[in-house]
């Protein structure tokens, strides 16, 4: 396990609860965008829709990262971390949002490409 997995279960639980209450524990975490939809999580990251898909790395030195600016996930829990991938199934085809890409996407860590 790398340094990113050093947060204990209780620390991660407090961060998740603070995020859901839209608080910022020690100025560390802020949910970006308008934020409709649910929050999903992996062992070391949180994922949500904030206009675009966002990820928050819970590890030391981590923080919020916008995954892409070209699409908007659907309004429910549509960012699925599974098996080392981040999957975003298309769920906006009935939406009137002005995003140029209505498609499913899959993201893999850069280090997996090497």
Give pLDDT, residue 82: 92
Give pLDDT, residue 4: 46
Give pLDDT, residue 34: 61
Domain ranges of the chain: 3-113
- What is the pTM assigned to this prediction? 0.68
Give pLDDT, residue 85: 93
Give pLDDT, residue 12: 66
Distant-in-sequence, close-in-space partners of 45: CB < 8 Å, separation ≥ 6: 55, 56, 57, 58, 62, 81
CA 77 to chain centre: 10
Q: What is the mean pLDDT of each run of 10 residues along the chain (114 residues)?
A: 52 66 51 70 87 86 86 81 91 70 85 82
Geometric angle at alpha carbon 61, from 20 and 80, rounded to 5°: 45
């Amino acid at each position: 396990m790398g340094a990113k997995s050093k947060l204990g279960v209780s620390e991660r639980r407090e961060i998740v609860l603070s995020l859901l209450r839209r608080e910022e524990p020690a100025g560390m975490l802020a949910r970006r965008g308008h934020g409709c939809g649910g929050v999903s999580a992996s062992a070391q990251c949180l994922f949500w829709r904030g206009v675009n898909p966002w990820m928050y790395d819970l590890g030391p030195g981590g923080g919020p990262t916008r995954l892409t600016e070209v699409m908007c996930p659907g309004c429910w829990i549509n960012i699925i971390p599974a098996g080392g991938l981040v999957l975003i199934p298309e769920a906006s085809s009935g939406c009137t949002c002005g995003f140029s890409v209505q498609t499913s996407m899959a993201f893999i860590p850069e280090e997996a490409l090497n």
